[in-house]
Amino acid sequence: MAGDKPKPDFSNVRSGSSSTAPSPAAPPPERYTVVAGDSLSKIAKKYYGDASQWKRIFEANRDQIKNPDLIQPGWKLVIPPKA
């Protein structure tokens, strides 16, 4: 209707929150033991449903993986939680 007041725009509202209470403990990261025939892409596909996410696993295991194309059966890899 012509007499209706236009609705205000709140799209630029900035908000935030904080608490004196602690945050819930993060769940421990999942671990995966590499088996023969595995690759980081294969593991990423298994956990994230997306093979291209292999870099996340690589980055989380840089202390163990020197070459992302070479992972050894028996290695225990940290699997970061889904983004």
Partner 1 sequence: MQALRLFTLVTAACLGLLGCGRSEQAKAPAPAPPPAAAPVAPAPFRVGAVELGNAIGADKRVSVPSSAFAPTDTIYASVATEGASPSVTLTARWTYEDGQLVDESSETIAPTGPAVTEFHVAKPDGWPTGRYKVEITASGQPAGEREFEVR
How many other CB atoms are there within 10 angstroms of residue 71's CB atom? Answer: 21
Buried b (16+ CB within 10 A) or exposed e, 18-56: eeeeeeeeeeeeeebebeeebebbebbeebbeeeebbeb
Q: Which of residues 19-38 bind partner 1 (CB under 8 A)?
A: 19-25
Query: Whole-number minimum distance, CB 4 to partner 1, in Å?
Result: 11
Q: Which is nearer to partner 1, 17 or 67 (CB)?
A: 17
* Residue 8 binds partner 1 (CB under 8 A): yes
Counted residue by residue, the chain has a size of 83
Q: Which is nearer to partner 1, 4 or 63 (CB)?
A: 4
- Which spans of this chain sit near partner 1 (rule: CB under 8 A)? 7-8, 10, 12-25
